[in-house]
Amino acid sequence: MKRLGFLLLFLVLLWTGTVHGVDMVSPTEMVEEAEFILAGGVIEVSDADIPELLVEVDTVYRGDIGAAVLRIPLTSSGQFRQEPEIPQAQERLIMFFSLNEAGQLTPMADLNWAGFLEEERVTRLFMGARYHNWDESQYITAYNEFLAESEPKKIPSAQTDQGEREQERAPTQRPGEVAPSLFLMLAGVAVLLLVFQARIKKTQR
């Protein structure tokens, strides 16, 4: 039985927008230590004071998760030279997560934990920045090497999953086959007709 359910996962992204005093990991640690590596398309970008992304997961590279929509609030103190690129609707991301003590998905680091996907390759980083000896190109290379060697699992969308469940609940019936309930009803009508016919013959005698 497919373990697919429509999950709404809230990710708390604690990002100060600075490359000093942030939680960072190397490209190798990002790939090897992530408990969940997921990819999906942006389905909505909220136009609020704090931008919020809704990302529908369509591919699982690591971790056990079914159909899911990730809600990702974004904050920035504006201490970068320029604000990071905000993904637009229908753009795809690959994301690296760990689990916190509450069992919630959280980004592996404050920066470089996600990348833009084009034809299943990372082309640039989301909230990317150079940190110590690691520049953005090293993360992109590590992510693409991981993608080239991985065997992804495709996840049906929540709408597709709901349709499959409804189809599973619907009774199967071959063309020309009479449903059991209809057969019993017809049989009951036939019995009543026979009874009435027998009574009519009896009264005529």
Whether 162 maps to a domain, the answer reads: no
Q: In this predicted structure, what is the pLDDT of residue 190? A: 65
Cβ atoms of 38 and 61 within 8 Å: the answer is yes
- Candidates 112, 149, 90, 86; CA nearest to 34 is 112
Whether 197 maps to a domain, the answer reads: no
Number of structural domains (the chain) is 1
Whether 193 maps to a domain, the answer reads: no
Q: In this predicted structure, what is the pLDDT of residue 94? A: 97
- Candidates 143, 158, 176; CA nearest to 62 is 143
Tell me the C-alpha distance between 1 and 7, whole Å. Answer: 17
Domain residues for 48? 7-156
What is the distance in angstroms between the CA of the first residue and the CA of the last residue of the chain?
Answer: 64
Whether 184 maps to a domain, the answer reads: no
Residues near 31 by beta carbon (within 8 Å), at least 6 away in sequence: 37, 96, 142, 143, 146
Whether 21 maps to a domain, the answer reads: yes
The pair of structure tokens assigned to 143 is 């992510």
- The predicted model scores a pTM of 0.67
Whether 49 maps to a domain, the answer reads: yes
Whether 172 maps to a domain, the answer reads: no
Whether 179 maps to a domain, the answer reads: no
> pLDDT tens digits, the chain, 205 residues: what are they?
334 333 434 444 433 333 445 678 999 999 999 999 999 999 998 877 777 889 999 999 999 988 889 988 776 544 444 466 788 889 999 999 999 888 889 999 988 999 999 999 999 998 888 877 889 999 999 999 999 999 999 988 765 544 444 443 434 444 444 445 555 566 666 666 666 666 666 666 5
Q: Any idea what the CATH number is for the domain that residue 122 is in?
A: 2.40.50
